[in-house]
């Protein structure tokens, strides 16, 4: 079953979407199978990260601030502002799709794992996740 989830971000940072993806899997009615989540944007990404301790997410965000800083004069592409090229770099270093095992009509995740949309732009955006849930 194919579905989509609209996510309104508050700007740069990790936005947990685990519950929304889990709800889509339940709605698909698949007891065992695979769920593929695809984000169709070039300045945001998907990350499976720790969802128990917020400091882990803050550290991840700070890491990307260091490796892809806004306004670096080495970047040529800045059509949408100083966070334009850094957002594309951050997305290229992460992923735009994730696949999950489905068992018991639910995502199989580790104890501390959550699914996050990683917004790489400072301004709020409306992002779309496309999901395909198929039976094994």
Q: How far apart are CA 134 and CA 106, in angstroms?
A: 12
Please report which confidence band the pLDDT of residue 131 belongs to, taking 50, 70 and 90 as the band edges. very high
Q: Which of 112, 128, 123, 126 is nearest to 46 (CA)?
A: 128
Please report which confidence band the pLDDT of residue 31 belongs to, taking 50, 70 and 90 as the band edges. very high
Q: How far apart are CA 16 and CA 108, in angstroms?
A: 16
Q: Which residue has the tokens 């009509």?
A: 105
Query: Could you state, in order of their start, the residue ranges of all structural domains in the chain?
Result: 2-135
Q: What is the DSSP letter of 105?
A: T
pTM: 0.95
| CATH 2.60.120.460 at 2-135, yes or no | yes
- Considering just the CA atoms, what is the radius of gyration of the chain in Å? 16
- Determine the pLDDT at residue 105: 97
Name the helix (H) or strand (E) containing 119.
strand 113-119
């Amino acid at each position: 079953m194919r579905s989509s989830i609209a996510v309104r971000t508050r700007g740069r940072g990790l936005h947990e979407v685990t519950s929304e993806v889990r709800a889509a899997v339940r709605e698909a009615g698949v007891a065992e199978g695979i769920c593929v989540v695809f984000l169709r944007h070039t300045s945001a990404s998907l990350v499976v990260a720790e969802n128990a301790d917020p400091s882990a997410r803050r550290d991840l965000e700070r890491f990307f601030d260091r490796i892809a800083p806004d306004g670096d004069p080495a970047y040529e592409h800045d059509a949408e502002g100083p966070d334009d090229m850094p957002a594309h770099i951050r997305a290229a270093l992460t992923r735009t799709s994730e696949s999950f095992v489905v068992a018991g009509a639910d995502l199989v995740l580790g104890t501390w794992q959550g699914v996050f949309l990683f917004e790489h732009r400072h301004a709020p955006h409306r992002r779309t996740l496309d999901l395909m849930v198929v039976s094994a």
